[in-house]
Chain A
Amino acid sequence: MDIKSASGKSESHEESWGYDRKTIDYIQNASAHGLYEIRGLGAKRRLPHFDDLVFLAASLSRYPLEGYREKCLTRTTLGTRFATKPIELETPITIAGMSFGALSANVKEALGRAATQMGTSTTTGDGGMTQEERRSSKTLVYQCLPSRYGFNPDDVRRADAIEVVIGQGAKPGGGGMLLGQKVNPRVAKMRTLPEGVDQRSACRHPDWTGPDDLVIKIKELRELTDWEKPIYVKLGATRVFNDVKLAVHAGADVVVVDGMQGGTAATQTCFIEHVGIPTLAAVRQAVDALEDLNMKGEVQLIVSGGIRTGPDVAKAIAMGADAVAIGQGILVALGCNAATYIKDGQHISALDGYRALGTAPGYCHHCHTGKCPTGVTTQDVQLEQRLQPDVGARRVKNYLKTLTMELTTIARACGKQNVHHLEREDLVALTVEAAAMARVPLAGTDWIPGVRRG
C-alpha cells in the first residue's frame, strides 16, 4: 500500500505477512545476541480455547435450578484410588505448582492463606517447600520434580499429596530455568546452588526412566508415606491419550494435564509458543484415556493451562475434569500486570518498574528478570515488599470465590445440583476447530468434525 506523505511524496507501508514487524524483531534480536529469548508466563498466540465453547443451559427440555438460592455442591475429593487419606476440597479450583524462587516467600504464604480460607489446595514448585507455605496451607501438594531441589523425606511426610512432575504445559520435554538474578542466598541454599548462578533444572528424573520405572518410583513414594497420601502425576500436554494411560498404569491416584497455555517463570519463547497442544484438545484426550481404561471417577483428572474464569472451570469440568489448577490467573489476581501495587491500603504506581523493564502493564512477561514491578515474581528485598501476604491472600481468595460462584451459576442454569454433574452434552462449539478438538457439536448443528454420523 502506498501512502502519500505530507510532502506529497509516496511511501510504501505494505507489511509482509511472513516477515511482519514481530518476525523482523525476532530475527534482529537473534542476530544481535546469538541466544534465544527467555521469558515468563504462557503462550500469547491465539489458540482454540474454552472461549470457543458455550453452554446449552436449561429451557423447556431441561429444568434449571434457582440461580441464587438452591444448593449446588462444589465439594471435590481427589486421590480415592489407593491413598488412605484422599484430599477433600470445598471447591474444584486449586492453585497450581509455582516455585519459591520464581515467587517470593510472601507470595507463597499468601497463596497458602487464600487456599486454606477457600478450602482448597496449593502446590509447591521447583525449589522445595517453604515453612511459610506449609504453615499457611491446610492442604499442600508437594511436587517431586526432576531437579529434586530441596526435596527431602521430612517434607514428603509433611505434605498432603505428592505430585510427580513429568512435564509442564509451557515446556513439555524441557526442564526449569531460574536466572541468576533470582537466585538469592535463601533460594540458593534451598536448591544447594551457588548464589547468582543461572540455574537450569533437569528435564528427566534422576532415578527412573520410562513408564515401567515410574511404576516402581510411585510405589517407593507410597511405601515411604505408608500408602496414606495421594500421588498425582503431572503431564505437559503432548501425546495426552497415551501419556494419561501410562500414568494410570503407573499407579497414579490423580493425573494432572497441563496444556500449552500454562505459564512458566522462565523458558525459551520458542518452547512456550511452539511445543505442546492447547488445553482444550488435551482435556478431551485425557478423558478419552480414562474412559478407555474404565477409570473415569477412580482416577481423578485435574486440568490446567489457561484456566482464567468461572466459565473456563465449568467447561473443563463439563468436559470431564474433576478439578482445575490455576497458576497465571492467580498471579494476575495478586497484581501481575497491574498498573499499581497496594501499600498501607493505597494504590501506588508501578509504571516506573515496567518502564525500566521496557514494557507496560498488560504486556509484561518479565518474570525471568526477577524485577516484577508489583512484587509477585521477585526475590528482590525491596520489590517483594510491594506484595504483602494479607493483601495477596485477600485478592486470591476473592478471585477463587468469584470463580466458584460463576461455576455454580452456570451449573444451576444447566440444572445441576452438583458442579460435577456438568457434562459434555451441555456444551457446543463456536468454531470448527473447537468442535473437532473438544468433540462437541458446532453450535446449531449436530456436526462434530471427525466423528462419523449414523
Chain B
Amino acid sequence: MESLSFDLARTPLRQVNQFLHTGLAAGDTRTVEILNPDGAHSIAVGLDREVTIDIRGHAGYYAAGMNKRAHVTIHGSAGTGVAENQMSGVVHVKGFASNGAGASAHGGLLIIDGDAGLRCGISLKGGDIVVGGSVGSFSAFMAQAGRMVICGNAGDALGDSLYEAVLYVRGNIKSLGADARIEPMTDDDMRTVGALLEKAGLTHDPGSFKRVASARSLYHWNADANQEY
C-alpha cells in the first residue's frame, strides 16, 4: 500500500511511531497521513526513510525531532523543538512554531510559514531554516553552522555568540547578541537567500535582507572582552 493513514484519536502514538521506525521498511508506503494530532508530543520522531508525512492539525513538542530524509508537513502549528536536531529531509510548518524551532539541526530544511518563538535555530549545526514571519529573542544563540532566513523581524540578542552560521533578516532586528554583527550582502548571499526562499515558496527580493554573522572576536581568550567572554 503506497499511502497510509493513522488517526491519533484512535491509534496510540507509540504504535504510529513504531510503524514509522520499523513497519515502513517492510512495505512500499510512500506517504503517511496523521489525523487528529491534537497537540501530541513527539509525533514522527526519529524517522530515517524517504517518506512523505502529513500531520493534519497542530503538533506538540519535538514534532519530526531528529528527522533524517523524510518530508514532514505540519498542517497547523508546532510546539517547542520542532525538527530539533534534524539531520536531513524537510519539515514544513504551515502555521506558527513555538520555542527552539530547529534547535541544533545538523542538516535538512525547516520551513515555518508563520512566526517562530524564542531561540529559533539555537545551536544550529548545519541545517537551513526559513521563517516566513518573525522570530523571538535569542534566536540563533551559539549557532555553529547553517543558514537562517527570517522574512519578518528578529527579537532581542539575535545571534548571540554565533560561530559560523549566517543569518539573513528582512525586517527589523531589535538587538544583536554578543559578537554578532551586520555585514554587507555579497552576490553569494543573494543567491543563497534566493535559493532558500524559492524552496520555501516565498518571493521576497533577496536584496531586501541584511546579513548577520559572527565578528569572531570571542573565538579566543580576550582580556578586554570583560563579561562577554
Chain A interfacial positions (CB closer than 8 Å to B): 33-35, 147-148, 151-154, 156-157, 180, 191-194, 197-198, 200, 202, 206-209, 213, 216-217, 219-220, 223-227
A-B contact pairs, 18 of them (CB 8 A): A33-B223, A151-B85, A152-B66, A152-B87, A157-B46, A192-B106, A194-B163, A194-B219, A213-B80, A216-B41, A216-B60, A217-B62, A219-B41, A220-B61, A220-B65, A220-B81, A223-B13, A223-B14
CA distance A193 to B165 in the complex (A): 10
Known: A151-B85, A153-B87, A207-B84. A216 touches B220 (CB 8 A): no
- Contact among A202, A209, A220 for B45, CB-based, below 8 A: A220
Q: Say what secondary structure dominates the interface of chain B.
A: loop
* Pair A226/B21 contact, Cβ less than 8 Å: yes
* Pair B87/A220 contact, Cβ less than 8 Å: no
CA distance A426 to B34 in the complex (A): 57
* Pair B62/A202 contact, Cβ less than 8 Å: no
Known: A198-B219, A223-B13, A226-B21. A207 touches B62 (CB 8 A): yes
Q: Nearest Cβ in chain B — how far from A267, in angstroms? A: 14
Q: Which of chain B's residues have a CB closer than 8 A to the CB of A219?
A: 41-42
Known: A147-B123, A220-B41, A227-B14. A206 touches B104 (CB 8 A): yes
CA distance A194 to B80 in the complex (A): 29
Known: A207-B62, A220-B65, A223-B42. A148 touches B85 (CB 8 A): yes
Task: Name 10 extra pairs, CB < 8 A, besides A154-B48, A208-B80.
Answer: A153-B46, A153-B66, A192-B106, A198-B219, A198-B221, A207-B100, A207-B122, A223-B17, A224-B46, A227-B14
Q: Which of chain B's residues have a CB closer than 8 A to the CB of A151?
A: 85, 104
Q: Nearest Cβ in chain B — how far from A446, in angstroms? A: 51
Interface residue B109 (Cβ < 8 Å from any Cβ of A): no
* Pair A216/B123 contact, Cβ less than 8 Å: no
Q: C-beta contact mask, B24-46 vs A, less than 8 Å → 1, else 0?
A: 00000000000000000110011
Which residue of chain A has its CB nearest to the CB of B144? A192
* Pair A223/B219 contact, Cβ less than 8 Å: no
CA distance A33 to B224 in the complex (A): 10
CA distance A156 to B85 in the complex (A): 12
CA distance A185 to B176 in the complex (A): 30
* Pair B65/A224 contact, Cβ less than 8 Å: yes
* Pair A216/B103 contact, Cβ less than 8 Å: no
* Pair A197/B220 contact, Cβ less than 8 Å: yes
* Pair B45/A192 contact, Cβ less than 8 Å: no
Most B CB contacts (10 A, CB to CB) among A148, A194, A219 go to: A148
Interface residue B172 (Cβ < 8 Å from any Cβ of A): no
Chain B interfacial positions (CB closer than 8 Å to A): 13-14, 17-18, 21-22, 41-42, 45-46, 48, 60-62, 65-66, 68, 80-81, 84-85, 87, 99-100, 103-104, 106, 119, 122-123, 125-126, 141-142, 144-145, 161, 163-164, 219-221, 223-224, 229
Q: Which of chain B's residues have a CB closer than 8 A to the CB of A200?
A: 161
Q: Which of chain B's residues have a CB closer than 8 A to the CB of A194?
A: 163-164, 219
CA distance A206 to B80 in the complex (A): 10
CA distance A436 to B171 in the complex (A): 60
* Pair A226/B123 contact, Cβ less than 8 Å: no
CA distance A198 to B62 in the complex (A): 31
Q: Which of chain A's residues have a CB closer than 8 A to the CB of B220?
A: 180, 197-198
CA distance A193 to B142 in the complex (A): 11
- Contact among A154, A197, A206, A225 for B123, CB-based, below 8 A: A206
CA distance A206 to B22 in the complex (A): 29
Most A CB contacts (10 A, CB to CB) among B106, B123, B164 go to: B123
- Contact among A147, A157, A216 for B61, CB-based, below 8 A: A216
CA distance A223 to B221 in the complex (A): 41
Q: Which of chain A's residues have a CB closer than 8 A to the CB of B61?
A: 208, 213, 216-217, 220
Which residue of chain B has its CB nearest to the CB of A201? B142
Q: Nearest Cβ in chain B — how far from A212, in angstroms? A: 11
Q: Which of chain A's residues have a CB closer than 8 A to the CB of B126?
A: 192
* Pair A35/B42 contact, Cβ less than 8 Å: no
CA distance A429 to B46 in the complex (A): 50
Known: A34-B223, A152-B106, A153-B68. A206 touches B100 (CB 8 A): yes
CA distance A193 to B106 in the complex (A): 12
CA distance A225 to B223 in the complex (A): 45
CA distance A207 to B223 in the complex (A): 32
Q: Which of chain B's residues have a CB closer than 8 A to the CB of A198?
A: 219-221
Known: A148-B85, A152-B66, A153-B68. A206 touches B21 (CB 8 A): no
* Pair B144/A193 contact, Cβ less than 8 Å: yes
Q: Nearest Cβ in chain B — how far from A227, in angstroms? A: 7
* Pair B48/A153 contact, Cβ less than 8 Å: yes
Q: Which of chain A's residues have a CB closer than 8 A to the CB of B14?
A: 223, 227
Q: Which of chain A's residues have a CB closer than 8 A to the CB of B42?
A: 216, 219-220, 223-224
- Contact among A154, A180, A193, A227 for B163, CB-based, below 8 A: A193
CA distance A326 to B223 in the complex (A): 35
Most B CB contacts (10 A, CB to CB) among A200, A213, A219, A224 go to: A224
